[in-house]
Chains A and B, each alone.
Chain A
Amino acid sequence: MRKLGATLSLYLFTLVFPLSGIAELTIEITHGVDNPSRIAIPPITQAGQALPEDISKIVSADLERSGLFMPLPRRDMLSFPSTAKEVYYRDWRILGAEYLVVGKAVNQSGRYQISFSLMEVHGERKLFTKVVEGPATQLRDLAHYISDQVYQAVTGIPGAFSTRVAYVTAVPVNGKMTFQLMVADVDGARERLLLDSKQPIMSPAWSPDATELVYVSFETGRPAIFRQKLATAAREQLTNFRGLNGAPSWSPNGKTLALVLSKDGNPEIYTYELSTRKFTRRTTHFAIDTEPNWTPDGKSLIFTSDRGGTPQIYKLAIATGRVERLTFRGSYNARPRLASDGRTLVMVHRDNGSFHIASQDLVTGDLRVLTQTYLDESPTVAPNGAMLLYATKQGNKGVLAAVSLDAGVKFLLPARRGDVREPAWSPK
């Protein structure tokens, strides 16, 4: 067990987005893999001049956060090459680097063009050279793109560094709780406020194209489901039924929502066609059916139900209405989410009286408890299926934490102030 204990304070974005002073996220890696790849990323500059964002620092932080890489500190580097030709492999071998990323930027009428190469130090060979370009406002996106490319070339898994996270913060203001719906880059940077309310906000969920969110807000005095566009912040109220209106989940084709309504007296799963605004009741049971989520093929819903006496996870085939129980270990399994492989189920699992995040392989049935923190809730899986985020408690504060699906890498994203809860990892 190797403790990195690194705290990456993301000071840059506070200059750009003054909002983020409220509950900005920092990252504490608590557990990494035993043998991370050592990678060196010398500064990426524009003919020796620093860029508005420190690209190589962002890439280093991205890769370090994956737990699979250990970036070399910049101060140890003997040279700062920017092209493959300028690389003296011996310099990097001495430092123990296994991989090296070099790059340089060119400014073409306001747009930055960054060409970057990944080198394998021991084999002394170049693995690829790629070019990416964008305006100065998107330098962070360009950096995350570089991280994705490097991660995929080394691990074989697509990177998820260009994704975002939606979450809810609860901060006491003058003794009264204020709830905020936020969206940030997955590294915690560029935090943006979407909704500010004196009433609770719950269950944010992404549209499959990652341009919109649906969520539950109590601002009308009772729970109601809203959809909101990220780009324009334009929003629309979708439900206003008596009782529970909750747990919306967007179908993979973007046309339908699954949600929970108790308008007929008991929480049941419904689907809602966004184009026709038609609700269809999908479950009919006097037990509680809640927390629906789509399988990646869009043909089934997985949901939590206590129809068997204890909360367990079930799968409903939409075409036939057939319901099948998926979980059998433990007396509490809830809040299901499927990884994009459609095979790895993650959920909240009660184990010896404490709530942990567990994963279950739906083919072999193997159940694995991934977390050791307490009162864990709301797991959400990265689109590449390598990691999941969840909400937990640190002291009596609600914080976000992440764990890799093999439980090898763990880190915390504590907020400076207030509680953070209900993370939702964007699908792209």
Chain B
Amino acid sequence: MRIQAGSVFFGLFLSISAQAAAPVEEIGVQPARPVNAVPQAPLPAALPQTSDVHYQLQLLQDEIRTLRGMVEELNYEVSQLKARQMDDYMDIDRRLSAISAGGAASPVRSSSAKVVGTSGDAGSVPAAVASDEAEHYSHAYNQLKAGKITESIALFKEHNAKYPNGKYVANSYYWLGEIYVLQGQLEPARQSFSMVVDNYPAHRKASDSTFKLGQVYYLLGDKAKAKALLDKAAEGNDNSARLARSYLKENF
């Protein structure tokens, strides 16, 4: 088929060159004409003019084609740039909010050292505090269930600061992690899930967090870490292990 297309293009080229050649031929022939051919006089005068117009038309058409091509390409580039600018904007927005969230999260992380250091005391929490603690946690959790995301983030954070050695800290970090993933804030999500995985390896939420942390690393682009965590999560036989296995299958 390209042969055919080629011959079409070639054909056009031929017709252009034939038309372009015409005035030259006319001029060249003119002096050789008989002098007495008076009635024909207007004709040779008119011919170069029409073919000149034709030639000009060809030039204009070529020029328009070139310009059209440039407009099409510029249009395309503009739409590409628009799309890229939007992506860049989203990316920067995400990073900025991750930094601001990260600023809030890092003190939490430094407090985690305390959690580890004093975890032996976890059992000796006074009873009154424990009930406050449970109430505070369930309040935060209910806000989350009610879809009040901003409130629940604040409450979970408050919970972690208030009861660093509490019973529900692991759950609280886990839910923070979930929320951050949903919001696309991968770095704070990573920190939250890491808290559970690193500090509460025996907790009920630890296996879920391992799987989620693996996912977050994958989304962050650290495939090696993601693979290690997902492999670990895939070992068991619970729901998160099944999810981890299918996630591994799909992505590795």
Residues of A within 8 A of B (CB): 202-203, 244, 246-247, 267, 286-288, 290-291, 304, 306-312, 325, 328, 334-335, 348, 355, 377-378, 422
Asked if B2 contacts A310 (CB within 8 A), the reply is no
Of B60-68, B87-95, B181-189, B198-206, the segment with at least 4 beta carbons within 8 Å of chain A is: B60-68
- Please indicate the chain B residues that have their CB under 8 angstroms from the CB of A304 in the complex: 5
Contact A308 B2 (CB under 8 A): no
The CB with the most chain B CB atoms within 10 A, among A309, A310, A325, is that of A309
Q: Are A291 and B65 in contact (CB-based, < 8 A)?
A: no
Interface pair A288/B1, CB less than 8 Å apart: no
Total residue contacts A-B, CB cutoff 8 A? 62
Residues of B near A328 (CB, < 8 A) are 72-73, 76
- 19 residue pairs of the A-B complex, CB under 8 angstroms, read A203-B1, A203-B4, A246-B4, A247-B1, A267-B8, A286-B61, A304-B5, A308-B65, A308-B68, A309-B66, A311-B5, A311-B9, A328-B72, A334-B2, A334-B5, A348-B2, A377-B2, A377-B3, A378-B1
B96 within 8 A of A: no
Check A325/B1 contact, CB under 8 A, given A288-B8, A308-B69. Answer: no
Chain A residues near B1: list those with CB within 8 A: 202-203, 247, 291, 334-335, 348, 377-378, 422
Query: CA–CA, A288 to B68, complex, Å?
Result: 14
Are B2 and A335 in contact, CB atoms less than 8 angstroms apart?
A: yes
B12 at the interface (CB under 8 A from A): yes
Choose among B4, B5, B12, B65 the residue that contacts A309 (Cβ–Cβ < 8 A): B65
| B170 CB, min distance to chain A CBs, angstroms | 40
Pick from B5, B61, B65, B66: contact of A335, CB under 8 Å: B5
Closest to B63 in A: A309
A288 lies within 8 A of B12 (CB) = yes
The binding surface of chain A is classed by DSSP as strand
Whole-angstrom distance between the alpha carbons of A308 and B74 in the complex?
12
- Chain B residues within 8 Å of A247, by CB: 1, 4
When the two chains form their complex, are residues A309 and B3 in contact, meaning their CB atoms are under 8 A apart?
A: no
Q: Are B69 and A309 in contact (CB under 8 A)?
A: yes
With A203-B1, A307-B68 given, can you name 9 additional A-B contacts, CB distance below 8 Å?
A247-B4, A291-B5, A308-B72, A309-B70, A311-B9, A334-B2, A335-B2, A377-B2, A378-B1
B3: chain A residues within 8 A (beta carbon): 377
What distance in Å separates the Cβ of B13 from its nearest Cβ neighbour in chain A?
Answer: 11
A244→B8 contact, CB < 8 A: yes
Residue of B nearest to A331 (CB): B69
Known: A286-B61, A348-B2. A309 touches B68 (CB 8 A): yes
Residue contact B4 to A202, C-beta cutoff 8 Å: yes
Residues in B whose Cβ lies below 8 Å from that of A286 = 61
Contacts of B2 in A (CB 8 A): 334-335, 348, 355, 377-378
Q: When the two chains form the complex, which single residue of A244, A267, A287, A290 contacts B65, counting CB atoms closer than 8 Å? A: A287
Chain A residues within an 8 Å CB radius of B70: 309
Complex CA distance for A328 and B70, rounded to whole angstroms? 11
Report Cα–Cα, A311/B7, bound state, in Å: 13
| Chain B residue at smallest Cβ distance from A202 | B4
Report chain B residues within 8 Å CB of A309: 65-66, 68-70
Chain B residue at minimum C-beta to C-beta distance from A380: B1
What's the minimum C-beta distance from A283 to chain B, rounded to whole angstroms?
14
Complex CA gap A310/B65 in Å reads: 8
For A287, what are the chain B residues with a Cβ–Cβ distance below 8 Å? Answer: 61, 65
Q: Is the CB of A306 within 8 A of B76?
A: no
* Residue pair B5, A325 in contact (C-beta under 8 Å): no
- A309 CB to closest chain B CB (Å) equals 4
Q: Which of B16-75 contact A (CB under 8 A)?
A: 61, 65-66, 68-70, 72-73
Chain A residues lying within 8 Å of B69, measured Cβ to Cβ, are 307-310, 312
Shortest distance in angstroms between A39's beta carbon and chain B's nearest beta carbon? 23
Judging by beta carbons under 8 Å apart, are B65 and A307 in contact? yes
Chain A residue nearest to B7 (CB atoms) is: A244
Report A-chain residues with C-beta under 8 Å of the C-beta of B68: 307-309
Q: Which residues of A are found within 8 Å of B8, using beta-carbon distances?
A: 244, 267, 288, 290
Q: A307-B65, A309-B65, A309-B66 are in contact. Are A325 and B4 (CB under 8 A)?
A: no
Central interface residue in B4, B9, B61, B76, by most chain A CB within 10 Å:
B4
Task: Kindly list chain B residues whose C-beta atoms are within 8 Å of the C-beta of A307.
Answer: 65, 68-69
In the assembled complex, the Cα of A130 lies from the Cα of B76 at a distance in Å of 51
Chain B residue nearest to A355 (CB atoms) is B2
> Shortest distance in angstroms between A426's beta carbon and chain B's nearest beta carbon?
17
> Which of B9, B72, B76 has most chain A Cβ within 10 Å?
B72
Is there an interface contact between B4 and A306, defined as CB atoms closer than 8 Å?
no
- Those of B70-84 within 8 Å (CB) of chain A: 70, 72-73, 76
Complex partner residue of B76 from A325, A334, A335, CB under 8 angstroms: A325
